[in-house]
Structure 1
Amino acid sequence: MNLKNNTKIIVGFALAIGVLLLTAAASFWSIRGLSVQTQNVEHTYQVLQEAETITAVLKDAQAGTRGYLLTGDTVYLRPYSMATGQLPAALERVQALTVDNPAQRARLDSLRALVEQEFQILRPLTEIKKSMSQSAMQTLLDTDRQTLRQVRMLYARIKSSELALLAQRSALQDVFEKATPIVVLISAVLAVLIVVWLVVKIVKELEDNRRLQAELAEVNAQVSRRIAQIRELAEQVVQGDYTVKITDDAEDNLGGLATSLNRMTQTLEGSFSALEKRNRELDQFAYVASHDLKAPLRGVTTIVKWIEDELAAELSPQLRTYLDQMKGRLARLEDLINGLLAYARVGRTAAQSRETVSVQQLLTEVADLVVPPDFTLRIGPDMPTFETDRLSLQQVFTNLLSNAVKYHQRGAGHLEVTCQDIGRYYEFRVQDDGPGIAPEYHQKIFLLFQTLRDRHTAESTGIGLSIVQKIINDQQGTIRVDSAVGQGAGFIFTWPK
């Protein structure tokens, strides 16, 4: 239908006024909804912050109490004293914030009970001047650890619930944030297009779009080049070149990243230089341990042998006993030096070539060397064949099997090695039926020079398991012990595929 110009203008103004009214209504609705959702999101953050504060203050109180028990210094009780004043108020605030959330209210009631239980546990521990047996104190500490674990679990559930609620509210907030400018912009553009006629606006927008696309293309090309430089630096760092630098001094995020990477490579270069120096010092130590220390040791051993051979008739029984004890001490000292030398060399010798290893065959060879005939060794059916450092894996199995035999104490025994695939790693288990290891020693046995045997026993140097742990750590694996007194011991370690 053909309309006159004035009619078109009237219709255009009418449409523009209508669009503006719709814009005002839509803007009011969007802004109001955005305000409500923003308040809801802030409310959720307040709940998360208060819950986190409760957990952190309670943890600080526990840490301070333990520091007080260790040192006797009452300064460590300051977090506990502060917690007694802060936590009740914090609990009241967070419960007030969750008055509209019955599920969270129930969790917070449980949290309040755990907090009160924690104070009942910590209060006697802050009064060590009062008589308390060691067992009672240990019981309180164990209960304290379990209670704090329950607090952390409950905080995790509270946080998970609030985060889920936060996600819903944030989604609604995003809807309103996006809807408000879109509605306003579309309505305004429509009004302008109607007033100044559609063709002029479309042409101008097309010109702007072409210009913007050209600018974006140029920016994308620059960003791509700069990212390529960063990737090249990363690849060179992976290859071990820490002297590479990026020449990018732009004052934006990528420029800041380039500057940070340059500082990182400079720091790495200095750190690896220091590490190489330390390795050279350790090499010198290994040389001293294997030569300068062993030479006088062998000399003393030889002198003792000469005394036994040349003065045999003049030696009293008591003197022979002393000489036997001296030989035992000398043998233990030599074992300790050899063990220290082996421990220092782990991970610093030339890299072993990787080769295809059949673990079944490797265990058979190790068993022939360290497992006596009166022991039985069962090798599980799922032993893998894969490429790895054969010498290191052989050393781990040798130490674990020889330890199982050495500490068995009951003569003939039964050993078992099994394996399971856990993704990127194989998990091996070396199990024996020996006397077992009490739980309180499960971490101690991996420390250097720590042994559960008499220190005068020649073969008990306390280095073997330290070497095993160091080898496995170098392979990015883990090791732990599963044992109890009288139930044998199982050493479980992971080895990368």
Structure 2
Amino acid sequence: MQLNLNTKILLGFAVAAGVLLLTAVASFLSIRQLAVQTRHVEHTYRVIQEAEQMTSRVRDAESRVRGFLLTADTSYLQTYNTSQREIEQSFERLDRMMADNPRQVVRLDSMRVLVRQKFNNMELLLKPNRAVTSSSAQTILDTGRQTMRAIYTMFEDIKQSELTLLAERNRQQNIYETITPITIIVSATLAILITLWLFQKISREISANEKLQQELAAINQATSQRIQIIENLANQVVQGDYKVKIKDKEKDSLGNLATSLNRMTQTLDDTFGALQNRNRELDQFAYVTSHDLKAPLRGVVTVVKWIEDELATELSEQMRQYLGMMKGRLARLEDLINGLLAYARIGRTEQKLEEVQVQQLVEEVRDMVVPPSFHLEIPTSLPLLVTDRLSLQQVFTNLLSNAVKYHHRGQGTIRVSCAEAKKEYEFTVADDGPGIAPEYHEKIFLIFQTLRDRNTAESTGIGLSIVKKILDEQKSTIRVVSEPGQGTAFIFTWPKVSVTEKAI
């Protein structure tokens, strides 16, 4: 199984780290054992030294007693008492040091018994007013000498045992003193060899990777150039140039993409050519519709007016009602034709950018569509925009005329307000009319949709559709906030920088 560079590096470092860890463990164990054996050796020396000192103190105590017996000088007794306390302390220290050696503990106990016997004999000689004959004193002294020899013998046994133990511990200490540096040197050598091997392997891998990176860099540069060509084609397509082509004959994914893009641009060129022809036909149709339909429509309106003027005395009340209904239907038909033409032309006419003082524009719309019975509140803080005046005027015209047309009292208050956002302004046109139920908030923006009976209001159902289409062209939004009986607020956004200006 082929391993990648990272895996090899990690594996090599893991092996090196493992060897170093084993080296550290082996060195630690060797050094620890060496330290243990060193402590054991030191312990043995301390035991021998303490035993020698204790034996020496017993001998010194015996000398003090003899000195007192010969000179009757009591100063000898002070040193004697001090020696006795030191001997007892030595026994306590030896008890602690020999606790792990039962045989030595037995010997030490036997030696303690002998030392006590020795001191008991010396106490007999030191008692005041003692009634001891010369022969008895000699016997006590002889017994003391025998006890002292036994103490020396026991001391030699203890010392010999400790020396035997010392020899064994010195041997083990020498072993670990020899093994420890060898272990460290061997382990360090292995670690260095493994590190050098790993370094060599990594160097080879890095060299191979550098060569591969150079090859990939060359391929990446060529690919970037080809992608740049594709991006340039995409930008030209966005700007409306559908005749652009890519000269890329490579048999790879980018080459296939270039071929597909060339086919796409050719298809777009053909499609947009056909679309331009359709638009021209639609413009011609709109002109013909406007001219040919409006002419007979105006003729019918004129005939109705003649009938009302010339036959005013002969018309019954019902006939007058019929003629009034006819004039309303004819007016709605004319509005419908005008609305359809306006809806069809949205987005297909060139927008003219100019400075627009929104407050002035709203006042002009008010004069055109808001009757005197309505009060229109216009704030003085409406912004100054560089945008298509006609499009914004159509939005305000339709919203204000709707607020008037669908008001249930024939009079009321309309409020226009504005809030500034980061990239757009949010305008609100609110009225105190009958309101709209939430289930109709989306429906009212569909073409030919109206919430009132067509027999009671001459509505085409196109006004809000025109508003929605204009705002879609501007990449803006519109929404309704309304409840039945609580008035209606249309809230729409308008960009600070128009879509046309961005394209420029």
TM-score over 0.5 for the pair: yes
Name the counterpart of 1:439: 438
Q: Distance in 1 between matches of 2:480 and 2:13?
A: 79
Is 1:394 the counterpart of 2:393? The answer is yes
Deviations 1:224-256 (A, max 9, x none): 321221222122112210121222233444334
Once residues 283 and 251 of structure 1 are traced to their aligned partners in structure 2, the CA distance between those partners, rounded to angstroms, is 46
CA RMSD of aligned residues (A): 3.3
- The whole-number CA distance in structure 1 between the counterparts of 2:199 and 2:299 is 105
Aligned partner of 1:282 in structure 2 is 282
* Structure 1: tracts of 5 or more residues without a match: 1-15, 26-189
State whether residues 354 and 389 of structure 2, in contact with CA within 8 Å, keep that contact through their aligned partners in structure 1: yes
Q: Give the Cα–Cα distance (whole angstroms) in 2 for the partners of residues 206 and 322 of structure 1.
A: 97
Partner of 2:306: 306
- Report the Cα distance in structure 2 between the residues aligned to 1:331 and 1:246, rounded to whole angstroms: 56
Q: 1:310 to 1:242 in 2, by over 3 A?
A: same
- Measure how far apart 1:20 and its partner are: 8.3
Distance 1:415 1:318, change over 3 A: closer
Runs of 5+ unmatched residues, structure 2: 1-11, 22-191, 497-504
1:211-230 superposed Cα distances (whole Å, 9 cap, x missing partner): 44542443233123212212
Instruction: Indicate the SS of the match to 2:426.
Output: strand
| Residues 245-284 of structure 1: pairs in structure 2 closer than 5 A | 245-284=245-284
1:19 aligned partner, one-letter code? V
TM-score, normalised relative to structure 2: 0.56
Structure 1 counterpart of 2:483, which letter?
A
Q: Which moved more, 1:240-249 or 1:211-220?
A: 211-220
Deviation at 1:326, TM superposition (A): 2.3
Shift of the 453–19 alpha-carbon distance from structure 1 to 2, 3 Å rule, reads closer
CA distances 1:45-81 after superposition (whole Å, capped 9, x unpaired): xxxxxxxxxxxxxxxxxxxxxxxxxxxxxxxxxxxxx
Tell me: CA distance 1:191–1:315, structure 2 relative to 1, closer, same or farther (3 Å): farther
- Give the aligned residue type for 2:477: T
- More displaced stretch, 202-211 vs 385-394: 202-211
Q: Given that residues 380 and 418 in structure 1 are in contact (C-alpha distance below 8 angstroms), is that contact kept between their aligned partners in structure 2?
A: yes
Amino acid at match of 2:219: V
- Cα distance in 2 for partners of 1:408, 1:198 equals 88
Note the C-alpha offset of 1:438: 1.6
Aligned counterparts of 2:455 and 2:302: Cα–Cα separation in 1 = 21
Task: Give runs of aligned pairs for residues 251-400 of structure 1, distance below 5 A.
Answer: 251-349=251-349, 351-380=350-379, 382-400=381-399
Q: What is the rounded CA distance, in whole Å, between the counterparts of 2:215 and 2:464 in structure 1? A: 64
Q: Report SS of the residue matched to 1:272.
A: helix
Query: Residue 224 of structure 1 corresponds to which residue in structure 2?
Result: 224
Per the alignment, do residues 284 and 315 of structure 1 end up closer, same or farther by CA in structure 2, a change over 3 Å counting? same
Partners of 1:428 and 1:344 in 2: how far apart?
25
SS in 2 for 1:377: strand
The amino acid that maps onto 1:364 is: E
Q: Partner of 2:448 in structure 1?
A: 449
- Give the stretch that moved more between structures: 415-424 or 385-394: 415-424
CA contact (8 A) 2:444 2:464 kept: yes
The TM-score normalised by the length of structure 1 is 0.56
In structure 2, do the counterparts of structure 1 residues 239 and 395 end up closer, same or farther at CA, with 3 Å as the change threshold?
Answer: same
Residue 479 (str. 1) matches residue 475 (str. 2) = no
Residues 1:235 and 2:235 aligned together: yes
State the AA in 1 paired with 2:392: L
| Alpha-carbon spacing, 1:203–1:340, altered in 2? closer, same or farther (3 Å) | closer
Aligned counterparts, 1:23-42, within 5 A? none
TM-superposed deviation, 1:19: 3.4
Q: Confirm or deny: 8 A CA contact 2:357 2:383 kept in the other structure.
A: yes
Residue identity opposite 2:15 in structure 1:
V
Q: Distance in 1 between matches of 2:14 and 2:465?
A: 82
Contact 1:20–1:191 (CA under 8 A) maintained in structure 2: no
Shift of 1:313: 4.3
Taking a change above 3 Å as real, the CA distance of residues 314 and 356 of structure 1, as seen in their structure-2 partners, is: closer
CA distance in 2, matches of 1:352, 1:470: 14
CA distance in 2, matches of 1:369, 1:396: 14
What count of residue pairs does the alignment treat as equivalent? 315
Counterpart in the other structure of 1:464: 463
Q: Check the 8 A contact 2:427/2:493 in 1, yes or no.
A: yes
1:209/1:337 CA distance change after superposition, 3 Å: closer
SS for the counterpart of 2:480 is strand
1:361 alignment partner AA: Q
Q: Structure 1 residues 405 and 292, CA, compared in 2 at 3 Å: closer, same or farther?
A: same
**Match of 2:425?**
426
SS at match of 2:464: helix
Q: Secondary structure of the residue that 1:418 maps to in structure 2?
A: strand
**Per-residue CA distance 1:308-349 (angstroms, 9 max, x = gap):** 344444434443333333222222222221222222222222
Question: How many angstroms apart in 1 are the aligned matches of 2:475 and 2:199?
Answer: 67
Asked if 2 retains the 8 angstrom alpha-carbon contact of 1:446 and 1:466, the reply is yes
Change (3 A) 1:310 1:216: same
- Which position in structure 2 is the counterpart of 1:488? 487
Give the 5 Å matches for 1:12-91: 19=15
Identity %: 66
Q: 1:192 to 1:214 in 2, by over 3 A?
A: farther
User: For residues 22 and 427 of structure 1, do their structure 2 counterparts lie closer, same or farther at Cα, with a shift above 3 Å needed?
Assistant: same
Equivalences for 1:106-255 in 2 at 5 Å? Answer: 194=196, 208=208, 211-212=211-212, 214-255=214-255
Contact preservation (8 Å) 2:329, 2:458: no
1:421 maps to amino acid = E
Letter of the 2:266 counterpart: Q
Kept in 1, the 8 Å contact 2:374–2:414? The answer is: yes
* Cα gap change, 1:193 to 1:286, in 2 (>3 Å): same
Are the equivalent residues in 1 in contact too, given 2:297–2:330 (CA < 8 A)?
yes
Gap change, CA 1:255 and 1:410, over 3 Å in 2: same
Contact 1:357 1:388 in 2 (8 A): yes
Measured in 2, the distance between the counterparts of 1:256 and 1:192 equals: 50
Return the letter of the residue paired with 2:303.
I
